[in-house]
Amino acid sequence: MPRETGNTADGIYEQLRERICLLELTPGTPLREQALAEEFGVSRTPVREALTMLRVDGLVTRQHGGGTSVSGVDLKSMRDVYSLRLKLTELYADFMIIPVPAGTIERLREIRVATLAAAPDRDARRLGYLYNRFHETLLGTIGNEPLRLVADRLFRQTARVWIQVLPDMSWDEEVRIMIEEIDECIDALEAESAERIAKLRSDHLSMLLHRFNEYLTRPLI
């Protein structure tokens, strides 16, 4: 599922980030520089640079005694990150590119088709992969680079949470909500309404936070 990228520090970073966000590399997994250097066919230097970028993102941590491992997912602390993401959506309308970059709506339609095709398999990672592509496509409509970078970093911190809890949530309902969000964003982009996009993103994040809160407070028996 991950896209092919070059074996530069940036390319290795993107590939490892994708694996972490899709839980292909689970929390606690050690990331050994030498093993990764051999996998990507590079020296340890670009691997070390990639791991540093992942630490900045909060996706990996240094282990006691040296080494690096995938960071854990604390569902309660992640709610704080979601809350910050929610506040940032208020800025989207101020910095949205109008008209949107060429190909944006077409990519969203392709993601919609792929989501419907993938739904029967009930593969949480596949659905997470498609939602990541949805996020990246909308990110390309933000014309302010600092906002784009912060929004992306916060999204990556929370990307694993949905995939992790998805097996315990209503699959059909989550797919329905994802399709609805894509459709509404397409309509708003076609109308060139930055305000509608900002409100949609805010509304769907609020609904997701509500669903997570229900998940965290559900009876254990």
Same domain, 126 and 196: yes
Same domain, 44 and 111: no
Mean pLDDT of all residues in 166-179: 93
pLDDT at 3: 44
Average pLDDT, the chain: 91
Contact 181, 108 (CB under 8 A): no
Number of domains in the chain: 2
Q: Is residue 221 scored above 70 in pLDDT? A: no
Q: Which residues constitute the domain of residue 209? A: 75-216
Among 6, 159, 8, 1, smallest CA distance to 70 is for: 159
Q: Where residue 147 sits, what CATH number does that domain have?
A: 1.20.120.530
Q: Encoding tokens for residue 208?
A: 């997701």
For residues 106 and 110, what is the distance between their CA atoms, to the nearest angstrom? 6
Mean pLDDT of all residues in 104-108: 98
Where in the chain does DSSP place strands (E)? 60-62, 68-70
**What are 186-190's contacts with CB under 8 Å, separation 24+?**
186/105, 186/108, 186/109, 186/112, 189/100, 189/104, 189/105, 189/108, 189/141, 190/105
Same domain, 94 and 157: yes
For residues 94 and 143, what is the distance between their CA atoms, to the nearest angstrom? 9
Contacts of 96 (CB under 8 A, 6+ apart): 141, 142, 143, 194, 197, 198
What's the pLDDT band for 1 if we cut at 50, 70, 90?
very low
pLDDT at 138: 96
Amino acid in the structure at residue 17: R
Q: Name the most confidently modeled range: 188-192, 210-214, 216-220.
A: 188-192
Contact 153, 216 (CB under 8 A): no
User: What Å distances lie between residue 164 and 17, 26, 211, CA to CA?
Assistant: 16, 10, 13
Same domain, 156 and 62: no
Q: Where residue 43 sits, what CATH number does that domain have?
A: 1.10.10.10
The model's pLDDT over 176-205, given as tens digits with 9 standing for 90+, comes to 999 999 999 999 999 999 999 999 999 999
Same domain, 164 and 201: yes
Q: Is residue 65 scored above 80 in pLDDT? A: no
What's the pLDDT band for 74 if we cut at 50, 70, 90?
confident
Q: Is residue 5 scored above 60 in pLDDT? A: no
Does 89 reside within a domain?
Answer: yes
The model's pLDDT over 130-154, given as tens digits with 9 standing for 90+, comes to 999 999 999 999 999 999 999 999 9
Same domain, 89 and 186: yes
Same domain, 106 and 209: yes
Mean pLDDT of all residues in 57-62: 92
User: What Å distances lie between residue 141 and 54, 60, 103, 109, 159, CA to CA?
Assistant: 24, 28, 11, 15, 20
